[in-house]
Amino acid sequence: MERLTRRTDQGIQVEPLMMERALERLADFEDAVEEAEAKQEALSRQLEELRMEGKSKSARFRELMGEKLLNTRFLSVFQARGIR
């Protein structure tokens, strides 16, 4: 990944010619985090529905649980960095 920012003693800096690209990347990143958060809520609802139907041992339940665990890890990395 091409880095668009630099951390210095004065803070974070972006070359003026790269500002638009840096803002686009930040917007893409924020969109991705929002999508992951929404997906996490949807997965929780789907898993709860399957539990209520007594399907907590089904292949679909396990597939969704794996997806939720992966998504949880993704979000926790950002939370650890203070991003979320």
Spell out the per-residue pLDDT of the chain, length 84, in tens: 889 999 999 999 999 999 999 999 999 999 999 999 999 999 999 999 999 999 999 999 999 999 999 999 999 998 998 887
Quick one: pLDDT at residue 25?
Answer: 94
Query: Quick check: 48 and 68 in contact, CB under 8 A?
Result: no
Query: Quick check: 24 and 5 in contact, CB under 8 A?
Result: no
Quick one: pLDDT at residue 83?
Answer: 82
> Within 10 Å of residue 54's Cβ, how many Cβ atoms?
8
Quick one: pLDDT at residue 63?
Answer: 98
Instruction: Pull the structure tokens for residue 16.
Output: 């003026």
Quick one: pLDDT at residue 12?
Answer: 93
Query: Quick check: 45 and 62 in contact, CB under 8 A?
Result: no
> Within 10 Å of residue 1's Cβ, how many Cβ atoms?
4
Q: How far apart are CA 36 and CA 50, in angstroms?
A: 21
Quick one: pLDDT at residue 26?
Answer: 93
